[in-house]
Structure 1
């Protein structure tokens, strides 16, 4: 029997497209809001679009889900991928619509993008480069390329070593974070065509 990827269903808007992309990458995917299924999974993917506050509230509204994710990922060391707001939820807190606690797995906060050049529009939307930082050049999942972004808030990590890749939108913005068995990407692999599919394939083959 192959590995099972738990795609956490907490009302995130990009669930269907992420499911399809993971299947195209070769995953056996279980879309689930059941903490017991998350505990039994080999890998966990947390999608997310919309506001940090709404996504955090949706995740916390499922009894036992955060505990199950923490047990499987932080204790059990299952490979984890957070996508867009699913990445942002890794932070200590988000500042969208007030201050909201995140999972706190990677220290930092999620702040509004505030470019100094008025010609730079927010949200950061469309295709942009993903540039690896020197310390992450050999990361087995994140590679340089061009991906699709759509976000108005960005992850400001406390520890620069947790930042695996950056993109530029009037200022440097975090494109990916990484810590041990945890990866988060600000871009949308499910909308990033060949680059996104290859990213998901590498995640599925990753044994940290």
Structure 2
């Protein structure tokens, strides 16, 4: 079908809006032989084939800083046009419509909201530590050969997608489960930090790069 594939990715942009752990993300991709270009203004997008939206901190300040870059509407168009975008940690939460953490409107690329993790016996909030991914729907980051990798989380909130098909992976939290990954078309995100998840995280990023280089086929 037309639009199901793209030309191989040449340049990946890393969005710098003052709320991301850019150094560790940059280092992880450098180790995989993939340089990243800094994206601070809309004109920086022109040379990019794919984007990474990192994030550390609170929802409202992050959206305020993202608006200050002038990138918000461009990111919405990027998603609408099915161009590759990867969110990391807070970057996942910003893709949703709203968050319990504040009052700001999110990017709205995924229907649903971000909710505070529930109080659970034996669990601390913020949730900090390793957890095993439970695949829910196919996505380019998590391939069958990866089984169920353990990855590193630091968060107090988790996304609740309205559409079950947007949920790519979960992780166990207390007596229930919380969103670990989401994916729709060519937009995906990790609540965990792949850049801090040792070999497992590096493999997930490598999977994403390989998918981009092969033409970014839409998941079936």
Q: Distance in 2 between matches of 1:172 and 1:87?
A: 17
Contact in 2 for aligned 1:80/1:182 (Cα 8 Å):
yes
Spell out, residue by residue over 1:117-170, the C-alpha distance to the aligned partner (whole angstroms, 9 max, x if none): 2x311111111101101xx2x432124210000000110111111101000121
Distance 1:160 1:115 in 2: 23
Is 1:42 the equivalent of 2:45? no
From 21, 25, 33, the equivalent of 2:32 is: 25
- RMSD, aligned α-carbons: 1.6
Does residue 105 of structure 1 match 2:104?
Answer: no
| Conservation of the 8 A alpha-carbon contact between 2:12 and 2:36 | yes
Task: Measure, in 2, the Cα distance between the counterparts of 1:2 and 1:95.
Answer: 36
Cα separation, 1, equivalents of 2:74 and 2:188? 18
What is the Cα deviation at residue 71 of structure 1? Answer: 2.7
Higher mean alpha-carbon deviation, 171-180 vs 12-21, is at: 12-21
TM-score by length of 1: 0.91
Measured in 1, the distance between the counterparts of 2:41 and 2:20 equals 18
Within 1, Cα distance between the matches of 2:158 and 2:73?
25
Tell me the residue number matched to 2:194: 189
**Structure 2 unpaired stretches of 5+:** 1-7
Question: Shift of residue 68 of structure 1?
Answer: 2.2
In the alignment, what sits opposite 1:114? 118
Count of aligned pairs: 201
The residue number in structure 1 matching 2:77 is 71
1:5 lines up with 2:12 in the alignment: yes
C-alpha displacement of 1:28: 2.4
- 1:2 Cα shift? 6.6
Contact 2:79 2:109 in 1 (8 A): no
